[in-house]
Structure 1
Amino acid sequence: MKQKLLPLLMLLSIVTVLYGCSSSNNVEQLAGHPDNAAELLETRQPFRNMYYGNIPYPANCEQDCYQPHPQLACEAPAEQCYYTGPQQIPELKSGFSVHWLGHASFSIQTPDGQHVLLDPVTGQFDWPVSWAAHLTGIKQRAMTPEFSAEQLQRADAVLYSHLHYDHFSTRDIKRIGRDAHYYLPFGMASYLPTGGYNTTEMAWYSSAEQGELTIHALPARHFNSRTFSDENQALWAGWLIQHGDKKLFFAGDTGYSKHFSDIRQRYGAVDICLLPIASYHGPNYRAVHMTPEDALMVAGELGCKVMIPWGYGNASWQMGDHSSHSALLRLLNMQQRLKSQVPLLILNEGDKVTI
């Protein structure tokens, strides 16, 4: 394994020089938590999660977690599946339309007619990881759904949760162009391509106005890096998009912790929750990713009026997962075992719903 990973490690070390300060971009910084974010960034000290260490999980699937489900049609066990069950869309009249492209990538139409992209990453990993992954045999996406050129170019705002290659793509940023406004966790603007991009860097619990929307940067329990020499040199975040009293929450990659109950206390119940349910297999993966049962419990804590899961699917990279749809099988099974009352809205990649 070490021999296979050596080319990848070397390439990621070399690529550090490709990311200089984006001095030709327009960058605004908004203070929040941590209150010394600017100092941490300037002195290259690492950012930290709000809650760390061993945190007890509210629920656990101990056995028979991946029983076949009648509403999931698969070509092989938990592989290349299609959800065939009813999509029970609650009549929230939120004005939000949600289009899931796969993995963590969403296109959101907002009540005021704006077009917002969440973690837009098309194709395979950004270069050079895509090339190194091919050389080392690391699994790539089985299918690669694309944002249309029109979808990308009409974006009013783009929100990225962190720098990992499955969530942040410089190739797609160049395709989106300079007309959109980019909202990034504190310290991430220097990773943008140069060329006049309008950017707002935000610490946790800071807020920005975008038309009639209020965009809140919120905590997540994760980590951040682009290479092997910049771990946690920039913040990571989830996002709350608010229009009047209607709220859509995108958690980004995150593990379970008390930050979710903090969010509920600050902002009240959330209408639409886009929550990750995958990549929890492997050493310490669950500390920074949620299991399906974690996500169900979080949806209850947030008061989600509807939960849309993501991270599974034919367009996922299956990083740390057994198969393309094992996480969705576990979610459907655990929803019944936990008697969760949170409405689930299960999407296949490419599905679009108005809620």
Structure 2
Amino acid sequence: MKYVFLLFPLLLCACAVDNTVQTLAHSNTVIKRSQFEGEEDRFANVYKNFPDYPVTCQSNCYPPTERIECEAKMQDCFYKGNNPSLSINSGFTIKWLGHASFVVSTSNNQQFLFDPVFDQFDWPVDWGFKLAEGFFRQPAATMTRDEIERTNAVMYSHIHYDHFNKADIKHIGNKPSYLVPLGFAEHFPTGGFDITEMAWYANKKVGDTTIHFVPAHHFSSRIVVPYLYEDNDKALWGGWVLENQGKTLFFSGDTGYSKHFEDIAGRFGSIDVCLLPIASYFSESSPKWYRNVHTTPEDALVAAKELDCKVVIPWGYGNASWQMGDKTSHSALFRLLKMDEKLSNKIPLYILNEGEEVAL
């Protein structure tokens, strides 16, 4: 019997396959470090916090609209408005699972996942929030096992709980490649995962698609209250550009407004499809610093113009979001429609409900 007990831990060790980690950071990439003494090992944004935003909704920011049907005021809603008919021939098919999670397919049958989070926050954080009756989402749209198996690569924007869930990585498995920011791999579970850590403007080719990591204006941590613990800003954050057959798709990740949008446009030119966040910016009575790292709907519209997007798909609102700082599940979408009209925006908005997809 003693040999059985000796064999059992050996079998467990044999199953714990080490991850493979590659780092892409060279002379053509960008890395910005903190300038504060004693924090030189922490990352920083390319630009300082934006001093004054181009436009801010001042009043009547959430007027009612027949284009959105809700069970309560701006809560538990369904967008039923007409989306524009587009013929940009990008070759991308985009499915929104909810919050920041997207499935993107190309015309040559490649499939990519952005920030896939199917469940709640990782335990025990999800348990704590459930007890506090806050930040507990309704179930997001799911993917079947066959759909997941078709994935070529998974990209994460940063390590915050609502964008990166270790339990979901185990569910997706180690078949696809994982592309992540610098300092990210240590947060992965062990399981034979193929991980590429990337600096800003590094790129990697996966099949026929070139995947570029680009800046965002945000921060990172795996704790509830930022700026109090050792892991803060020790993993980088950013967005992603997919380049396939001369067409581009940009997923910004969580970001505030800054001049990094102009920089991205300077490198890639007009972006065919832009996936931009419009939520989690807090209300007017909340701390002003939160807008530094989350775009309001009007910030997203300004960014879209600077990126010269051919179409914008907004995200962050919705019935499967955590409503972190937003008035309701769909208040940000109401505000987007208001500001889209007020600013006479010429860039088409294609608005999805969770689980819907569109070929553009």
Corresponding position of 2:226:
none
Structure 2: tracts of 5 or more residues without a match:
1-15, 34-38, 224-228
Corresponding position of 1:30:
24
Distance 2:318 2:144 in 1: 20
Give the aligned residue type for 2:25: A
Give the Å deviation of 1:94: 1.1
CA spacing shift, 1:89–1:224, aligned 2, 3 Å = farther
Distance 1:35 1:66 in 2: 39
1:328 aligns with 2:322: no
Aligned residue for 1:217, secondary structure, equals strand
Give the Å deviation of 1:148: 2.2
1:214 aligns with 2:210: yes
CA spacing shift, 1:36–1:254, aligned 2, 3 Å = closer
Corresponding position of 1:85:
81
Aligned residue for 1:182, secondary structure, equals strand
Equivalent pair of 2:50/2:257 in contact (CA under 8 Å): no
TM-score, length-normalised on structure 1? 0.90
Which stretch of structure 1 is more off in the superposition, 105-114 or 50-59? 50-59
Task: Describe the superposition over 1:71-126 as per-residue Cα deviations: whole angstroms up to 9, x where unpaired.
Answer: 01111110011111112241111111000010000011113211100000012112
Give the Å deviation of 1:183: 0.2
Distance 1:93 1:350 in 2: 22
CA spacing shift, 1:69–1:44, aligned 2, 3 Å = same
Task: Describe the superposition over 1:246-285 as per-residue Cα deviations: whole angstroms up to 9, x where unpaired.
Answer: 0000000000000000110111000000000001113211
Corresponding position of 1:14:
none
Distance 1:212 1:169 in 2: 28
Give the aligned residue type for 1:270: I
Corresponding position of 1:152:
148
Structure 1: tracts of 5 or more residues without a match:
1-21, 38-42
Give the Å deviation of 1:35: 4.6
Equivalent pair of 2:21/2:195 in contact (CA under 8 Å): yes
Aligned residue for 1:75, secondary structure, equals strand
CA spacing shift, 1:294–1:162, aligned 2, 3 Å = same
1:183 aligns with 2:179: yes
TM-score, length-normalised on structure 2? 0.88
Q: Percent of aligned pairs with the same residue?
A: 50
Corresponding position of 1:260:
261
Distance 1:232 1:23 in 2: 28
Corresponding position of 2:5:
none
Corresponding position of 1:234:
235
Aligned residue for 1:190, secondary structure, equals helix
Task: Please provide the CA RMSD for this pair.
Answer: 1.6
Provide runs of 4+ in structure 1 moved above 3 Å: 32-37
Aligned length: 329
Give the aligned residue type for 2:24: L
Give the Å deviation of 1:325: 0.3
Distance 1:137 1:95 in 2: 42
